[in-house]
A and B are shown apart, each in its own frame.
Chain A
Amino acid sequence: MDFVQIFQTTLAGFSKAAWETVQLTFWSLVLGMGLGLILAFFKISGNRILHWISNIYITVIRGTPLIVQIFTIYFGLTEMVVLDSFTAGVIALGIHAAAYIAEIFRGAIQSIDKGQMEAARSLGMTYGLAMRRIILPQAFRRSIPPLGNQFIIGLKDSSLVAYIGGTELWSAALSAAADNFQQFETYFVNGLYYLVLVLIFTYLVARLEARLDVEQRSAKT
């Protein structure tokens, strides 16, 4: 077994593919967070129809495999739109993550003491302003740990985009192994790339969490 040799021969390809994975993950999480926030608002809106839309969305998306969703969007929609694999991947991963992120945001918003909203309203703030300036910043801070967890899952889930012709990290492993026939070494090295990405990501999330923690912020003078 020659890990060093495999590492060297795959370095250029895997690095490029790893960057593709990062981009795929990043954009899918942007979409997932946007959509997730909207769904969270639907759920707490008190409007029965919006509440149901959100419930059905979350039930369907959480209840079906991601690979089914990816195939449906990439192959299933060709009659309506033809998407390249990157775009289809971003949309499928984003739609998928949104179902989980919606619940994370909803929980975080509802965990903020009701007194915060009342105090804001008593000062004459509208519901929207109070949400934006008072509730959401606190809720976002509180949602970072589960959100970070969801991001890690999203990063690894992006490997499934390989099966619709993506050029991300796992697809690079599949084609490298097909060339060099050294499956074990190739997959092992590929897995290390994912591990490193996850570690970098975990570090960044921890940094962000510490930065938003006012209790660790010292008083400015």
Chain B
Amino acid sequence: MIRAEKLNKSFGSLHVLKDIDLEVQKGDVVVIIGASGSGKSTLLRCLNFLEMADSGEIYLEGKRIDPDKTDLNQVRQQVGMVFQHFHLFPHRSVLENIIEAPLYVKKTDREKAEAMGMSLLEKVGLADKAHVYPHALSGGQKQRVAIARSLAMQPKVMLFDEPTSALDPELVGEVLAVMKELAQEGMTMVVVTHEMGFAQEVADVVVFMDEGRIIEAGKPGQIFHSPKEERTKAFLSKVL
């Protein structure tokens, strides 16, 4: 579905991504774990071109995306993104947040967009908040709205950048539940998270990153119970 080949990215003298190869199969949930600063978020941001890789290639459904020749707005419509800090639009109601891009990017007509928006809100359990403004929501609710907003563009892949890291512990569960449901419906997902429970339970592939490299990748059972690499073992012994 989405594939990265030999991605490199530096910020100044800091080499953040080093020859990253990553392939995500259709319908798979790939969970990326690793310490802060290991390049997980940067990798995710390169996948939808919020950050431009210095070198390397990205393929979406087998087609190479050349940032100079492709309309990246088209690409981003197909690659949804959920952020750590939600980034809901504070001047728009919950429903307006969700239908904004369908209305103005896809030019869906309002009635259709609102119907779809409401069904997405039902899916994330927030239909009763449709006309509330984001400031009145809890963190967990905000993130569920953000997921619905992203889904409204009917993306082929969803990227999650530490979606529960900014939440109070008691609100993490509701967001993970929505993500789990999405995974069960067959959504292709790439998730950067520190929630090891979620990785073990939901992931098809777990990828461990350290210092800008993918150290190892495999089934959750293998990574968590019999990691091959010393660095993976060291990391897991700290977080499990």
B101 adjacent to chain A (CB < 8 Å): yes
Query: How many pairs of A and B residues are in contact by the CB < 8 Å rule?
Result: 74
- Selected from A113, A129, A137, A219, the residue in CB contact (under 8 A) with B87 is A113
> Which of chain A's residues 119-165 have a Cβ closer than 8 Å to chain B?
119-126, 129, 133-134, 137-138, 141
Query: B49 — nearest CB in chain A belongs to which residue?
Result: A121
Contact indicator A221/B133 (Cβ below 8 Å): no
> Which of chain B's residues 72-104 have a Cβ closer than 8 Å to chain A?
73-74, 76-77, 79-81, 83, 85, 87-91, 93, 100-101, 104
- A-contact 0/1 string along B100-127, CB 8 Å cutoff: 1100110000000000000000000000
Chain B residues with Cβ under 8 A from A79's Cβ?
none
- Selected from B74, B89, B135, the residue in CB contact (under 8 A) with A116 is B89
Contact indicator B89/A119 (Cβ below 8 Å): yes
Q: Which of A116, A129, A137, A214 has the most CB of B within 10 A?
A: A214
A220–B136 Cα distance when bound, in Å, is: 13
Q: Nearest Cβ in chain B — how far from A10, in angstroms?
A: 46
Contact indicator A125/B105 (Cβ below 8 Å): yes
Contact indicator A123/B89 (Cβ below 8 Å): no
- Selected from A126, A134, A215, the residue in CB contact (under 8 A) with B89 is A134
A63 adjacent to chain B (CB < 8 Å): no
Of all A-B residue pairs in the complex, the 8 with the closest CB atoms, nearest first, are A124-B77, A119-B87, A123-B101, A115-B87, A122-B81, A220-B131, A214-B133, A124-B76
A217–B136 Cα distance when bound, in Å, is: 11
Chain B residues with Cβ under 8 A from A126's Cβ?
73
A134–B96 Cα distance when bound, in Å, is: 11
A116–B134 Cα distance when bound, in Å, is: 13
Query: A133 — nearest CB in chain B belongs to which residue?
Result: B104
- Selected from A121, A123, A137, the residue in CB contact (under 8 A) with B91 is A137
B153 adjacent to chain A (CB < 8 Å): yes
Contact indicator A121/B87 (Cβ below 8 Å): no
Query: B132 — nearest CB in chain A belongs to which residue?
Result: A219
Chain B residues in contact with chain A, CB under 8 A? 48, 50, 73-74, 76-77, 79-81, 83, 85, 87-91, 93, 100-101, 104-105, 131-133, 135-136, 146, 149-150, 153
Contact indicator A124/B74 (Cβ below 8 Å): yes
Contact indicator A219/B105 (Cβ below 8 Å): no
Query: B129 — nearest CB in chain A belongs to which residue?
Result: A219
Q: Nearest Cβ in chain B — how far from A33, in angstroms?
A: 19
18 residue pairs A–B, Cβ–Cβ below 8 Å: A116-B87, A118-B50, A118-B87, A119-B88, A120-B89, A122-B81, A122-B150, A123-B77, A123-B105, A123-B150, A123-B153, A125-B104, A126-B73, A133-B100, A133-B104, A138-B91, A214-B135, A220-B131
Contact indicator B50/A141 (Cβ below 8 Å): no
A134–B103 Cα distance when bound, in Å, is: 13
Chain A residues with Cβ under 8 A from B101's Cβ?
120, 123-125
Chain A residues with Cβ under 8 A from B80's Cβ?
122-123
Q: Nearest Cβ in chain A — how far from B42, in angstroms?
A: 13
Q: Nearest Cβ in chain B — how far from A44, in angstroms?
A: 18
- Selected from B79, B83, B105, the residue in CB contact (under 8 A) with A119 is B83
Chain A residues with Cβ under 8 A from B135's Cβ?
214-215
Known: A115-B83, A118-B83, A134-B89. A123 touches B131 (CB 8 A): no
A120–B133 Cα distance when bound, in Å, is: 17
Contact indicator B133/A121 (Cβ below 8 Å): no
Given A123-B153, A124-B105, 20 further pairs, Cβ under 8 A: A118-B87, A119-B83, A119-B146, A122-B76, A122-B79, A122-B83, A123-B80, A123-B101, A124-B153, A125-B101, A125-B104, A125-B105, A129-B104, A137-B91, A214-B90, A214-B91, A215-B133, A219-B132, A219-B133, A219-B136
Q: Nearest Cβ in chain B — how far from A139, in angstroms?
A: 10
Chain B residues with Cβ under 8 A from A129's Cβ?
104-105
A221–B149 Cα distance when bound, in Å, is: 21
A120–B73 Cα distance when bound, in Å, is: 10
Q: Nearest Cβ in chain A — how far from B153, in angstroms?
A: 6
